[in-house]
Amino acid sequence: MSSLIKATSLQGIDTLITELGGDTASIMRHCAIEVTLNSLETQSLTYRHYAELLEYCAHSLNCPSFGLKLASKQSFDILGHIAIAAKSGTDLGEALTWVIKYLHLHTPALNLTTHTLEDDQNIFLSFEIKLKPLPVINQVIELTIALALATLKKVSQNQCKPIKVFLPQKLDANLRAYHQHFGCNVIEHRNSAGILIAKNDLLLPLNVSDQHKVQAALNFLAANNAHTQSLPSQVSALIRPMLPLFQCSNQTIATALNLHPRTLHRELKKHNTSFVKLKDATRRALCEHYLMQNQFSISHISELLGYQEQATLSASVKRWFNCSARAFRAKYC
């Protein structure tokens, strides 16, 4: 079954298309989107169609920053009951906990996780799209991160300030424009998409709350929450974005799961696996993906997989594929 997303994520798209000189109806027909734009709250569409729609708009309307522009026309409220519950929290950390727990009700295709880095000073908010095969996601990732940043700033009375933004794609537009838009350094061409903030920002008080709606929202979320994911799957999802940050340790992953490292080891053993095995399997899958794409140099792949030395990657490639990286590309590319 295709992963869906609530149609509220299309909020403002008709206005933006019109401003850019396009025709909303014809674009929707071209992208096979059957959504009534004046009643988004009751509808859904596949996440793949959603991502493809944003890419088509960017290209057909000659607007490389379409995702960023659409984010400026949306608000946290597109998450409905999730947003109401999150805004009932006392601080930013509690709000994030609500979103992480229930985001799958808005779309199971997007995974949000938080990671405390080894310096214990910063938090990495990681966004991962769980579709196979993965469509072009440049616009949807830029929209997601831009909207997340705007929300963090708004609910914290502009006290939460990003340190860095990570984007998975090589940016075609002027990198300085992205720095200005996000208000921080932008690290491009990574296998991670996310936002780095100070850990202390999680303690920032919230300035918004819809208390009269909170209980209804909590009841709705509790009644609809049937989301379960195995521990090995959770660990693998956490490993991937931490590799290029050189922060992927048993300690950081255990902390993200609110577990002691020994507890994580014990629980993974029940699944006949371990952190080391899952990290190796994740690296292998990513390495194969990158080797099949010639735009990634071997040194860049080494960095993306979190290896301090390229020689370590070479040894791993030999162990995984029984050949060198160059021989692998000669055979399969």
Number of domains in the chain: 2
Q: CB within 8 A of 3, min separation 6: which ones?
A: 46, 47, 48, 107, 108, 109, 130, 131
Domain match, 204 and 249 both: no
- DSSP letters, 68-119, are HHHHTT--GGGGTHHHHHHHTSSBHHHHHHHHHHHGGGT-TTEEEEEEE-TT
Say how far apart CA 259 and CA 42 lie, in whole Å. 38
> Given 211, 241, 259, which residue is the final one in a domain?
211
Query: Within a domain: residue 224?
Result: no
- Which domain, by its residues, includes 161? 4-211
Domain match, 255 and 172 both: no
194 with 166: CB under 8 angstroms?
yes
pLDDT recorded at residue 221: 74
Domain match, 177 and 51 both: yes
Query: Within a domain: residue 70?
Result: yes
Domain match, 64 and 180 both: yes
Q: CB within 8 A of 39, min separation 6: which ones?
A: none
Dihedral sign of CA atoms 62, 49, 70, 14 in order:
positive
pLDDT in tens, 9-53: 999 999 999 999 999 999 999 999 999 998 999 899 999 999 999
Domain match, 188 and 283 both: no
Domain match, 53 and 196 both: yes
Query: Within a domain: residue 277?
Result: yes
Domain match, 132 and 254 both: no
Query: Within a domain: residue 15?
Result: yes
Say how far apart CA 286 and CA 247 lie, in whole Å. 17
Domain match, 197 and 253 both: no
CATH number of the domain enclosing 257: 1.10.10.60
**Is 294 in a helix, a strand, or coil?**
coil
Q: Which two tokens stand for residue 313?
A: 């990657």
Amino acid at 265: H
Q: Which two tokens stand for residue 225?
A: 């929450």
Query: Within a domain: residue 69?
Result: yes
Query: Within a domain: residue 115?
Result: yes
Domain match, 168 and 235 both: no
Query: Within a domain: residue 217?
Result: no
Candidates 100, 101, 133, 111; CA nearest to 2 is 133
Question: How would you write the pLDDT of the chain (333 residues) with one tens digit per residue?
Answer: 468 999 999 999 999 999 999 999 999 999 999 999 989 998 999 999 999 999 999 999 999 999 999 999 999 999 998 998 888 888 999 899 989 989 989 999 999 999 888 788 999 999 999 888 778 889 999 999 999 999 999 889 899 999 999 998 777 667 787 888 899 999 887 778 999 999 999 999 887 655 667 777 777 777 776 555 788 988 888 888 788 888 889 988 888 787 899 999 999 999 999 999 999 999 999 899 889 888 789 998 999 899 999 999 999 999 999 999 999 998 887
Domain match, 253 and 293 both: yes
pLDDT recorded at residue 208: 62
pLDDT recorded at residue 259: 86
Cα distances (angstroms) measured from residue 313 to each of 72, 243, 280, 284, 302: 41, 13, 11, 10, 6
Domain match, 194 and 239 both: no
CATH number of the domain enclosing 99: 3.90.1520
> Given 176, 211, 246, which residue is the final one in a domain?
211
In the sheet with 194-198, reading across from the earlier edge strand, the strands are: 110-116, 122-129, 194-198, 164-166, 185-187
Query: Within a domain: residue 223?
Result: no
Domain match, 151 and 270 both: no
